[in-house]
Chains A and B, each alone.
Chain A
Amino acid sequence: MAERAGSAAPGQAAVDLAGVSRRYGDVDAVADVSLRIEEGEFFSLLGPSGCGKSTTLRMIGGFEVPTSGEIRIRGVAMNSVPPHRRPTNMVFQQLGLFPHLTVFDNVAFGLRLAKVPRAEITRRVARQLEIVNLAGFERRYPDQLSGGQQQRVAIARALTNEPSVLLLDEPLGALDLRLRQKMQIELKEIQRRLNTTFIYVTHDQGEAFAMSDRIGIMNHGRLEQVDTPRAIYHRPATEFVADFVGETNLVRGKVTRRSGDTMIVAALGLEVPLVASSVSPGESVTLSIRPEHVRLSRIQRGAPGMVTIRGATFQGSFIHYALETPSGETISARVIDGDASDNLKPGDGADIQFAVEQVRIMG
């Protein structure tokens, strides 16, 4: 495949998007996305449906053409290159296995087109099927395989061409939870072993977090934040990211005064002390408080607490509480089952504390 895949030069991005947009009529499906994905990286595009993540992926694969901006793969401009001449391969959401071909012929499809010698085809297909754990299934047809097996054929088929970049468009969407988790581990393992750049599109943050080196969060066609899973979870850059990734309470407040290094923020009818240098008294702010960072302490029954329990849901390893704050707003708290505050009832009062070092101030 020498004519398809360029070789990696040191310091060169595997994929480089520069101001890429895609318009349909007067709707921006993708708006001004700039992104650099490194060699050997497992990169996920995460966002709600319709956020432009699939369109972005399809532009990298050549199935959509950017309205403006430039896509480079290993430094080579790709905008006018059709899919069949790009050094990328795609695992499609609907898989797209050829129903009239056996597993072997599906996986060998790209190699035959590239006129690879027959002996080498047999060898490479066998190796690829071994990687995805499907040795012995060569003569089966796709409709004789389970969902998970079909999935792995699709991955093997996309990998036999040894693409510079493997594109995966929600490939696990159709599988049940258990199989999906198993495949996530396998995919990550395959990626690590082959050291190929993977670009993975999903709306499932658990999936993105489980596999990715870095994640790009998209919303309304725009890239909201690009960072490691940890950084995105703990330091969301925008309200959207804070809300979309994990669960959070977005709370409006106002900085009332400074006390040493600490800013006192009035929010929820409470005073929240926060260590922050980026804001000054008088400023309006939005706080992002994750439910697991809300601490409750029970008070004597009947005594008025800072908050009132409005709802309690048992969710296995933790209890989810809906709390009414003095301002009348409702926020969520999440308490580990076994905690002293795990059996509060609706109507009970409780005192509340925030793990202030975990509270984010969003501009």
Chain B
Amino acid sequence: MTTAAALAPLRQPRVFPFGIRLLMLPAAFVLVAVFVVPMVYFLGQSLDAPAGQRGLSLAHYREVLSDAYYWQLAWNSFTLGAMVTVITLAIAYPAALVMAEARGTKLFAIIAVATFSPLLTSVIIRSYGWLYVLSDRGVVNWFLVTLGILDAPVRLIFNWTGTVIAMVHLEMPFMMFPILSVLLQQPPVLREAAQDLGASSLQTWLRVTLPLSLPGIVAGCQIVFATSISAFASPTILGGGRVRVLPVSIYGSIQGLEWPVGAVQAVMLLALSLILVGVFTRALRTRARFGGGPR
């Protein structure tokens, strides 16, 4: 069985020779130097005593966490992350199904290029591009008004709508890739076996394809959620100040030289991210198995 072969290396604890471990050194060095050290330094700021005092203190936490404004920011970040994740999933999953079906054909290549192209341009350029496309006189509004669907242009920028649209576009490959990879791993014989046993296309999807694609869905959601709650460029450029999320506020705090306040918000963001990643992982591990077994 493919699964048995895939799982086997995880089950047996393997011992790596010292020489092999040495290969990890460059990666470990980079991680410590450019990630761990600045992170610890920055988070250390959140524990700084208020001006004029010495030592460590939780004063900044007290200040930020007792202020409903920052909780609103956290809620906004969560909402943005959840919206982007759900919409991206809803678009990416069916597209990934089509891609898996079309493996080896031109259609596969076309969808792949369309999905992964956002990665080729800078987020700033892409955001300004969306600004142009979604503006009152942009292509989208022109189209809707010309077709008579709308009487007047609808506001699509400098608000949540524009931000979410741009971010869904940006996050699409990060949702597509993990889902596509689990779908491509599913041997076609599984679906044939389900059909053979009497399952219609919908039943085959529900009972076989979907449960087996859950790991990809969970991985995609984790990546998309974690990256979209920490996104800065899209909410800033397309939100026009109306999309108040933690990263934008952190930037503001630091601009205003309030480093400790920025650091506390960063901790909030990190906590949000970790909680959601944990919830998803747990959901996958204890997921209800279809069927139910003998009773």
A-side residues, CB < 8 A to B, are 4, 61-63, 82-85, 88-90, 92-102, 104-105, 108-110, 112-114, 118, 122, 125, 138-139, 142-143, 150, 157-158, 161
Chain B: which residue is nearest A163 at the CB level?
B196
Chain B: interface residue count, which band? 20 to 34
Closest chain-A Cβ to B201's Cβ sits at a distance in Å of 9
Closest chain-A Cβ to B211's Cβ sits at a distance in Å of 5
Please determine whether A63 and B1 come into contact, CB atoms closer than 8 angstroms: no
Please determine whether B190 and A96 come into contact, CB atoms closer than 8 angstroms: yes
Chain A: which residue is nearest B211 at the CB level?
A100
Please determine whether B1 and A150 come into contact, CB atoms closer than 8 angstroms: yes
B-side residues, CB < 8 A to A, are 1-4, 7, 187, 189-190, 192-200, 203, 207-208, 211-212, 289-295
What would 20 A/B residue contacts be, using CB atoms closer than 8 Å? A63-B192, A83-B192, A88-B196, A90-B196, A92-B189, A93-B189, A96-B189, A100-B289, A100-B290, A102-B293, A105-B292, A108-B291, A109-B199, A112-B291, A122-B295, A142-B1, A143-B7, A150-B1, A158-B196, A158-B197
Contacts of B189 in A (CB 8 A): 92-96
Please determine whether B192 and A92 come into contact, CB atoms closer than 8 angstroms: yes
Contacts of A83 in B (CB 8 A): 192, 195-196
Please determine whether B291 and A102 come into contact, CB atoms closer than 8 angstroms: yes
Please determine whether A101 and B290 come into contact, CB atoms closer than 8 angstroms: yes
Contacts of A113 in B (CB 8 A): 197-199, 203
Please determine whether B197 and A157 come into contact, CB atoms closer than 8 angstroms: yes
Contacts of B3 in A (CB 8 A): 99, 142-143
How long is the Cα–Cα vector from A95 to B2 in the complex, in angstroms? Answer: 11
Contacts of A142 in B (CB 8 A): 1, 3-4
Contacts of B187 in A (CB 8 A): 94, 96
Please determine whether B4 and A84 come into contact, CB atoms closer than 8 angstroms: no
Given contacts A142-B4, A150-B1, contact A100 B292 (CB under 8 A): no
Chain A: which residue is nearest B11 at the CB level?
A143
Please determine whether B1 and A99 come into contact, CB atoms closer than 8 angstroms: yes
Please determine whether A84 and B292 come into contact, CB atoms closer than 8 angstroms: no
Contacts of A98 in B (CB 8 A): 190, 193-194, 208
Please determine whether A105 and B4 come into contact, CB atoms closer than 8 angstroms: no
Task: Give me 5 other A-B pairs in contact (C-beta within 8 A), A110-B198, A113-B198, A142-B1 excluded.
Answer: A84-B198, A95-B189, A101-B290, A105-B293, A139-B293
Closest chain-B Cβ to A325's Cβ sits at a distance in Å of 50
How long is the Cα–Cα vector from A93 to B188 in the complex, in angstroms? Answer: 12
Contacts of A112 in B (CB 8 A): 291
Total number of residue pairs linking A and B with CB closer than 8 Å: 101
How long is the Cα–Cα vector from A100 to B293 in the complex, in angstroms? Answer: 12
Contacts of A108 in B (CB 8 A): 291
How long is the Cα–Cα vector from A108 to B207 in the complex, in angstroms? Answer: 12
Contacts of B4 in A (CB 8 A): 142-143
Contacts of B2 in A (CB 8 A): 99
Chain B: which residue is nearest A103 at the CB level?
B293
Contacts of B1 in A (CB 8 A): 95, 97, 99, 142-143, 150
Please determine whether A99 and B192 come into contact, CB atoms closer than 8 angstroms: no
Closest chain-B Cβ to A324's Cβ sits at a distance in Å of 49
Please determine whether B212 and A109 come into contact, CB atoms closer than 8 angstroms: no
How long is the Cα–Cα vector from A98 to B2 in the complex, in angstroms? Answer: 11
The 4 closest A-B pairs by CB, nearest first: A105-B291, A96-B193, A143-B4, A110-B197
Chain A: which residue is nearest B197 at the CB level?
A110
Closest chain-A Cβ to B12's Cβ sits at a distance in Å of 13
How long is the Cα–Cα vector from A300 to B290 in the complex, in angstroms? Answer: 78
Contacts of A150 in B (CB 8 A): 1
Please determine whether B289 and A118 come into contact, CB atoms closer than 8 angstroms: no
Contacts of B203 in A (CB 8 A): 113
How long is the Cα–Cα vector from A143 to B4 in the complex, in angstroms? Answer: 5
Given contacts A97-B1, A142-B3, A143-B1, contact A125 B294 (CB under 8 A): yes
Chain B: which residue is nearest A119 at the CB level?
B295
Please determine whether B293 and A84 come into contact, CB atoms closer than 8 angstroms: no
Closest chain-A Cβ to B95's Cβ sits at a distance in Å of 23
How long is the Cα–Cα vector from A99 to B289 in the complex, in angstroms? Answer: 11
Please determine whether A82 and B195 come into contact, CB atoms closer than 8 angstroms: yes
How long is the Cα–Cα vector from A51 to B179 in the complex, in angstroms? Answer: 37
Closest chain-B Cβ to A51's Cβ sits at a distance in Å of 21
Chain A: which residue is nearest B200 at the CB level?
A84
Chain A: which residue is nearest B292 at the CB level?
A105
Chain A: which residue is nearest B208 at the CB level?
A98
Contacts of B194 in A (CB 8 A): 98, 109
Please determine whether B294 and A138 come into contact, CB atoms closer than 8 angstroms: yes
How long is the Cα–Cα vector from A94 to B4 in the complex, in angstroms? Answer: 13
Closest chain-A Cβ to B127's Cβ sits at a distance in Å of 40
Closest chain-A Cβ to B108's Cβ sits at a distance in Å of 21
Contacts of B292 in A (CB 8 A): 105
Contacts of A89 in B (CB 8 A): 196-197
Please determine whether B212 and A100 come into contact, CB atoms closer than 8 angstroms: yes
Please determine whether B195 and A104 come into contact, CB atoms closer than 8 angstroms: no
Closest chain-B Cβ to A128's Cβ sits at a distance in Å of 13
Closest chain-A Cβ to B1's Cβ sits at a distance in Å of 5
Closest chain-B Cβ to A141's Cβ sits at a distance in Å of 8
How long is the Cα–Cα vector from A102 to B292 in the complex, in angstroms? Answer: 9
Please determine whether A96 and B192 come into contact, CB atoms closer than 8 angstroms: yes
How long is the Cα–Cα vector from A62 to B198 in the complex, in angstroms? Answer: 12
Closest chain-B Cβ to A197's Cβ sits at a distance in Å of 16
How long is the Cα–Cα vector from A33 to B290 in the complex, in angstroms? Answer: 41
How long is the Cα–Cα vector from A88 to B193 in the complex, in angstroms? Answer: 12
Closest chain-A Cβ to B291's Cβ sits at a distance in Å of 3
Closest chain-B Cβ to A357's Cβ sits at a distance in Å of 47
Please determine whether B196 and A61 come into contact, CB atoms closer than 8 angstroms: yes
How long is the Cα–Cα vector from A161 to B294 in the complex, in angstroms? Answer: 17
